[in-house]
Amino acid sequence: MLDHTLYRKVTAAFRSRFQDSPSLVVRAPGRVNLIGEHTDYNDGFVLPVAVDRAAWLAVSPREDSWSTVRAIDMKNDEQSFPVDQVPSSDGGWADYPKGVVWAFLEQGLKPVGINAVLTSDVPVAAGMSSSAALEVAFAYAWDQLSDFGMSMPDLALLCQRAENQYVGVNCGIMDQMISACGKAGHAMMLDTRTLERAYFSMPEGIAIVVADSMVRRALTGSEYNVRRAQCEEAVAILQEHLSDVAALRDVTVEQLLQFEEMLPEVVYRRARHVVTENARVLEVSRALYEGHLAYVGELLIEGHRSLRDDYEVSIPELDTLVEAAVEVDGCYGARLTGAGFGGCIIALVDEGAVTDVEAHLGKVYEAKHGTAPTVYMTRPDNGVAKIA
């Protein structure tokens, strides 16, 4: 659903700063992931939905090879940088559009200079992919204004390279792909190896409730890259015994058990999460298609326990929210969403029980942690698009 408030906000800010109307307004959504956490950089399966919270970009081309970008949610922080050479990194939010410029140049494409104003209602560092929304918004705008004609999957891959190699976060492809290719009313099952996508309708009368723990983390300074290295270590060891294994996606539960003694204990547990999580994605997709919501809920809870115990990316605040959500009648299941270490949980809830879930989450969380979570309902929405 189009948020006219943010549209008016970003276009008014553009006119105020640049004394002109923008030639293009772009909206790129954040996401929540129903199931399939930390599987995407292991060539596995994921099941995200694009949400009705997004980055909004008002933009116009310039005559020269410079870009000026302003983020009105960050005290109107403004930066200017060249687009005909690799911009210098400063470690801030502007590294995302700078990284997109770097990725275009790496492909031999020359983006036009732009003036741009950004706003977003995707919570930052909450596990809803605010960075991917920002990258995809800028990449789409440059693609449109520079007449590159890139496909949405190729645009997502470009944004992933920008985050991996320029920003320095070894994320998988899920976040950028769902922001680029989301479909309203649907979850998208993505095979991160082949990039094949399948869409599954979300059942009528079911809401995705997001509860934000308000605990923030920076992925570049977290254990995210450590987890990826541990998965790569598991693959290297297993390849000595299983010649057809290129990634943990290729390992079965039975094979992992067979070679458990070959792996360091912590590496085994990391691998066990990824291998079992891949199986859960396929099961949830099948259960959604068949309308077996109780089973979907069971798998969400199972996935959270695996993230908590085997992958060790949950924290007490997220555990509290998950446990509180499933105590309410009408909640099928809950789990952390995103990389972990903070951020949000999701709960699959009957629409009639949303108010009860919200109230119970607030009461339990505040009693235990001394602060209130932010709780809201989201709807599956479309991927990046030109709004005007």
Question: Could you read off the pLDDT of 353-385 as tens digits, one per residue?
Answer: 999 999 999 999 999 999 999 998 998 999 999
Residue 218's alpha-carbon distances to 126, 177, 190, 356, in angstroms, are 10, 21, 25, 32
Which domains are delineated in the chain? 4-202+382-386 (3.30.230.10)
Work out the average pLDDT over 33-37: 96
Indicate if 20 belongs to the active site.
no
Query: Is the pLDDT at 321 greater than 90, yes or no?
Result: yes
* Mean pLDDT, rounded, for 172-193: 95
| 54-58, 143-147, 335-339: segment of lowest average pLDDT | 335-339
Mean pLDDT of 164-181: 92
How far does Cα 272 stand from its chain's mean position? 22
Q: Does residue 253 surpass a pLDDT of 80?
A: yes
Confidence (pLDDT) at 123: 85
Q: Residues 52, 95, 143, 175: which is the catalytic one? A: 175
d(CA 109, CA 143): 10
371 φ/ψ angles, rounded to the nearest 5 degrees: -150, 165
Closest CA to 27 of 62, 53, 60: 53
Tell me the C-alpha to C-alpha distance, in Å, between residue 150 and each of 56, 136, 140, 209: 20, 12, 9, 34
